[in-house]
Amino acid sequence: MSRAGAFIELARPQQWAKNSFVLTGLLFAHAWGDADLVTAAGLATLAFCLASSAVYAYNDAIDAARDRGHPLKRGRPVARGAISASEAKAQAAVLGVLGVASAALVSVTVGVLVTLYLLLNVAYTRGLKHVPVIDVFIIAAGFMLRLLAGTAGIGIEPSNWLLLCGLLLTLMLGFGKRRAELEQLDEQAGHHRAVLESYSAVFLERAVMVCAGGAIVCYALYTVAADTVAIHGTSHLVVTVPWVLLGTFRYLFRLHYRGGGGDPTDELFRDPVLAGSALGWATTVVWLLR
């Protein structure tokens, strides 16, 4: 692979799908017809794409030595020696500045949120990732900042339902990621990720199930709530609940019986049922809210 290709790989553009969280507020606020809000949301999404790539580059630079002994991460650009740690840090700095600058073009609020995202992830990489439970809450916090950027950051009132569902969903995925790592790395888990020494499979499975159940119930209640019906002008959002159930149970199936769950983005692209449930949910929501 060329040097340019290695720098692109370091940015992990395949992970940018996670930044679609920024666009959620646009959908549920019926704002897709407002050109100014669509432009603002698109720019905020770009800002988080740049910022998240900065975080990946910085994390790979710091963890290169540990990554070289990991069965999957040893192929990353810094770990395999295609890019030096100092070059990765330089790329992280450039992408971080571009991310904040892009965010500031949207609003001061989005600029602050992207800055907080970067600072939070630096703290995570430098030590908080070793603190059990806190590590997962920081991952979830990154997604909540995305949701806030796509709502309050562009002038859309954030829904408490949206924030609660988003928190529970991202906590489920975070604990699921730790559960997958614990199983995949087995006895070497603590060597590759120190915090895994403090987790047990039983605790992580229970945490995943609590968050999964909470997310499903929260979303189901949201679809039938009186204020939801009033805002969206339809009482039929409840028909999207089966898609949420299918996607959640399929993810849990992958987590427990297919050795998956480590990376939700990869799972979405590799599993046709999971991808179909996400597409079915999005299509049904757009059709009902059109």
Q: What is the largest CA-CA distance in the chain?
A: 57
pLDDT of residue 77: 84
Spans of all domains in the chain: 1-158, 159-290
Identify the three-state secondary structure at position 49. helix
Q: Tens digits of per-residue pLDDT, 67-80?
A: 777 777 788 888 88
Alpha carbon distance, N-terminus to C-terminus of the chain:
45
Q: Tens digits of per-residue pLDDT, 139-184?
A: 999 999 999 999 999 999 888 988 999 999 999 999 998 998 888 7
pLDDT of residue 73: 77
Taking 60 as the threshold, does the pLDDT of residue 189 lie above it?
no
- Mean pLDDT, rounded, for 83-87: 90
Closest CA to 40 of 98, 118, 111: 111
Measured CA to CA, the distance from residue 287 to residue 290 in angstroms comes to 5
Residue 18 backbone phi and psi in degrees, to 5 = -65, -25
Cα 217 to the center of its chain, rounded Å: 21
Q: Can you read off the two tokens belonging to residue 43?
A: 């720019």
Which are the contacts of 141, defined by CB distance < 8 A and separation ≥ 6?
120
Q: Name the CATH superfamily housing domain 1-158.
A: UbiA prenyltransferase (1.10.357.140)
Q: Tens digits of per-residue pLDDT, 92-143?
A: 999 999 999 999 999 999 999 999 999 999 999 998 999 999 999 999 999 9
Answer for the pair 15, 56: CB distance below 8 angstroms, yes or no.
yes
Closest CA to 175 of 132, 217, 115: 132
